[in-house]
Amino acid sequence: MAAITLKDINKRYGDGFHAVKDVSLDIADGEFVILVGPSGCGKSTLLRMIVGLEDITSGELRIGDQRVNEKAPRDRNLSMVFQNYALYPHLTVYENIAFPLRLAKTPDKEIDERVRRASDLLELNEHLERKPANLSGGQRQRVAMGRAIVREAQAFLFDEPLSNLDAKLRGQMRTEISRLQKRLGITTVYVTHDQVEAMTLGDRVVVLRRGVIQQVATPRELYENPVNLFVAGFIGSPPMNFISATVTGDSLHTPFGEWKLPSSRTVDLSGHEVVLLGARPEAFEDASVVSDTVREHGVVFDATIDVIEWLGNEQYAYVPYEAPEDIRAQLAELERELDSEALRTQLVVALDASSRIPEGTPASIWLDLRRVHVFDPESGENLT
Ligand code: ATP
């Protein structure tokens, strides 16, 4: 096993397209790192450079204490699991898992031991004599992982391994991958565009946008302290709500009233005429279920909820809201880039399951001002 170090890595494709820009990243031995970002942000390119399927235009890649830029993929001793599994249809499960060991001319007895150990771990014992065509999607995925783990590679690299599975199976496989990685303690780099996978699997998450790293942090840190609008909008579902405010002194004039942030959230607003406030759905609540002592940390405003989705343990309430002209363009761009729900036209408010606000009537909504972020609408920077 080994650490993986990327220093100022760049990728320019033959047509001149600059797909990865000055990426530096230290992945510790045994760490599980997720590369996440919208389609085309360069995450697969980065992974393919690590594994050696794509040349590195400039920068240095080290695995353990060796520079590997010029090494062929087979000499990097990494195991890659692809989205389409890349199983051999004419071989049995046993032979698919054994394949890299046969290539390496490993003795039969050792192959048998290692295949059986992997199949025990992945619960594939009953299926060893079957062909891939006769397996379910989840089982095929496990065979692909079996083939990756028999090799005792220095690291695992996963490229969207679950994207062909249905939602339920994806959830199960996510837990299995997480368990397997912890048990083996092997350095893992995992590419996904699914932010649920990103948040649940990784020790750390790398958020990429247009080939540039935006933030590297634990899932909790990303969620609670996104560095910019892009990360804030990308991480979290339903997404963070954005409300524009004009600034006078330390007062924020919003479509829902005049707000002042508590001292724990104060930011230097001088030089800003307009800011974007960000609040996650759970920063709001039905004001009638908030105790007086808690209520004083926020503001109460009236809003009309047009739709409520009741989920059992909580409810999502939708409040129609028209973002003002001056910030609509930024939000529209963010929506496009994130392929996100309507950031310009509604707020999504998570209410306690006990709340009984009816749809279509004005309601009193409380917002916890301690959980509000302030963004510069031009640069996107989180000022809080
Ligand atoms: P997805 O989630 O859609 O797979 P990604 O983040 O993995 O996206 P990459 O496949 O790494 O994105 O591609 C990054 C950018 O590089 C894209 O804009 C893509 O069009 C471009 N690109 C990829 N391969 C080539 C190539 N061979 N030549 C030119 N441009 C390429």
Tokens read off for 325: 């002209």
Clarify whether residues 195 and 72 are in a common domain.
yes
**Residue 53 CA neighbour count, 13 Å, CB half:** 12
Domain boundary pick from 206, 229, 252: 229
Best probe residue, ligand 1, of 10, 12, 41 (max atoms within 8 Å of C-beta): 41
| Ligand 1 neighbourhood includes 19 CB (under 6 angstroms) | yes
Clarify whether residues 169 and 300 are in a common domain.
no
Please state the atom number of ligand 1 nearest to the C-alpha of residue 193: 2
Residue 169 sits in a domain whose CATH number is 3.40.50.300
Domain boundary pick from 178, 204, 229: 229
Cα 145 from Cα 122, distance rounded (Å) = 8
Clarify whether residues 235 and 217 are in a common domain.
no
Asked if residue 311 is part of any domain, the answer here is yes
User: Residue ranges of the alpha helices (H) in the chain?
Assistant: 43-51, 93-103, 108-121, 137-149, 167-184, 195-201, 219-224, 229-234, 292-295, 325-338
pLDDT in tens, the chain (384 residues): 799 999 999 999 999 999 999 999 999 999 999 999 998 999 999 999 999 999 999 999 999 999 999 999 988 989 888 776 678 999 999 999 999 899 889 999 999 999 999 898 888 999 999 999 999 888 888 898 888 888 878 899 999 888 877 888 788 888 888 888 888 889 999 999 888 899 999 999 999 999 999 999 999 999 999 999 999 999 988 889 999 899 998 899 998 999 999 888 878 888 899 999 999 999 999 999 999 999 999 999 999 999 999 888 889 999 988 877 777 777 888 888 877 766 777 899 999 988 888 888 889 999 999 999 999 988 999 998
Reported ipTM: 0.97
| Ligand 1 neighbourhood includes 41 CB (under 6 angstroms) | yes
Residue 297 sits in a domain whose CATH number is 2.40.50.140
CA of 186 relative to ligand 1 center, distance in Å? 27
The closest of 274, 235, 288, 267 to 372, measured between CA atoms, is 267
Domain housing 327: 230-375
DSSP 1: -
| Ligand 1 neighbourhood includes 44 CB (under 6 angstroms) | yes
Tokens read off for 180: 């397997």
| Ligand 1 neighbourhood includes 88 CB (under 6 angstroms) | no
Its pTM surpasses 0.95? no
Domain boundary pick from 212, 229, 246: 229
CA of 45 relative to ligand 1 center, distance in Å? 6
Atom 25 (ligand 1) nearest CA? 13
Atom 9 (ligand 1) nearest CA? 42
| Ligand 1 neighbourhood includes 45 CB (under 6 angstroms) | yes
